[in-house]
Amino acid sequence: MNGRKKVTVVGAGNVGATCAFSLARADYADVVLVDIIPNFPQGKALDMNQAGSILGFEPNVVGANGYEETAGSDVVVITAGKPRSPGMSRDDLVTTNEAIVGSVTKEIVKRSPRAVLVVVSNPLDAMCHVAKAVSRFPKERVVGMAGILDTARFAAFIAWETGMSVRDVQALVLGGHGDQMVPIVSATTVGGVPLAQLTTKRAIARMVERTRKGGGEIVNLLGTSAWYAPGEAAAQMVESICLDQKRVLPCTALLEGEYGIKGLYMGVPVKLGAAGVEEIVTLKLDAEERRMLRESAAAVREVVGVLKKK
Q: How far is CA 299 from CA 105, 275, 292, in A?
A: 25, 29, 11
Write down the catalytic residue from 153, 177, 212, 271: 177
CB atoms within 10 A of CB 274: 16
Question: Does the annotation mark 129 as catalytic?
Answer: no
Distance between CA atoms of residues 289 and 236, nearest Å? 26
Distance between CA atoms of residues 237 and 270, nearest Å? 11
Distance between CA atoms of residues 230 and 149, nearest Å? 6
**Which DSSP symbol is given to 3?**
S
Closest CA to 295 of 225, 220, 212, 214: 212
| DSSP notation for 133-168 | HHH---GGGEEE--HHHHHHHHHHHHHHHHTS-GGG
Closest CA to 242 of 270, 268, 272: 272
Query: Kind of pairing, strands 116-119 and 75-78?
Result: parallel
Which residues neighbour 91 within 8 Å (Cβ) at sequence distance 6 or greater? 123, 178, 302, 303, 306
| DSSP notation for 46-97 | HHHHHTHHHHT----EEEESSSGGGTT-SEEEE--SPPP-TT--GGGGHHHH
Q: Which long-range contacts (CB under 8 A, 24 or more apart) does 281-285 make?
A: 281/248, 282/258, 283/172, 283/174, 283/184, 283/187, 285/184, 285/186, 285/259
Which residues are tagged catalytic? Answer: 177
